[in-house]
Amino acid sequence: MTAEQPGTGAVQGVDPDYYRRVIGRLVTGVTVLTTYAGGLDHAMTASAVMSVSLDPVLVVASVEQEARFHDAIIEAGVWGISILPASARSTAAWLATRGRPLHDQLDRVPHTRGGATGVALVDDALAQLECRTVDAHAAGDHTLVVGAVVAMRDAERPQDALTYYRGRFGAHP
């Protein structure tokens, strides 16, 4: 039996590497999160994005606190979500690369600016959402950023979705 660490809600004896393998059995969609802060576009690949509420319409994204995207999304207060098609595997891989150059990182990614927030949104996305941050909650080594959806667009042509499962990209019809 494992014991809870006092005052943290965390359980002692749970191996983080084993947890990563176990939770990797959960198939997730792949998105690109974007924002604009400090005169630069910021972007990252994310699979930890979830619908929260329909009234009001809210979404949450989990962002690692040590990622450079973290401070940018907190500072900006507005951000975008581009839900990727299976054909965008290279975009997802590029924006998941740690240490990639911050300047001009979206030069190789076709994108347009959202009308409501001005953030970059991936052109060939299955759907795009523009969000305004309404709350942020520290959760271990991540922050759960809650956004009110202020604008959205659905792709006009159906495509397979890019998925992430057991550490690999895949597709779902």
Residues facing 85 on adjacent strands: 161
According to DSSP, the β-strands at 28-29 and 161-165 are antiparallel
**Residue 107 pLDDT level (bands cut at 50, 70, 90):** very high
Q: Is 16 helix (H, G, I), strand (E, B) or coil?
A: helix
pLDDT for res 109: 97
d(CA 20, CA 17): 5
Task: Say how many C-beta atoms besides its own lie within 10 A of residue 155's C-beta.
Answer: 13
17 vs 9, which has greater pLDDT? 17
Q: Is 156 helix (H, G, I), strand (E, B) or coil?
A: coil
pLDDT for res 129: 98
Would you say 2 and 13 are in contact if contact means Cβ atoms under 8 Å apart? yes
pLDDT for res 6: 52
d(CA 117, CA 34): 11
**Residue 1 pLDDT level (bands cut at 50, 70, 90):** very low
Specify whether domain 27-172 bears CATH 3.40.640.10.
no
Entry field: residues in the chain: 173
Does residue 5 have a pLDDT over 80? Answer: no
Give per-residue pLDDT as tens, 67-91: 999 999 999 999 999 999 999 999 9
Q: Which amino acid is it at 87?
A: S
Indicate the burial class of 29 (C-beta count within 10 angstroms; 0-12, 13-18, 19 or more). middle
Q: Copy the structure tokens of residue 83.
A: 């839900």
pTM equals 0.90
Give per-residue pLDDT as tens, 118-153: 999 999 999 999 999 999 999 999 999 999 999 999
pLDDT for res 157: 81
* Domain boundaries defined on the chain: 27-172
d(CA 162, CA 91): 11
Instruction: Please give the mean pLDDT across all residues of the chain.
Output: 93
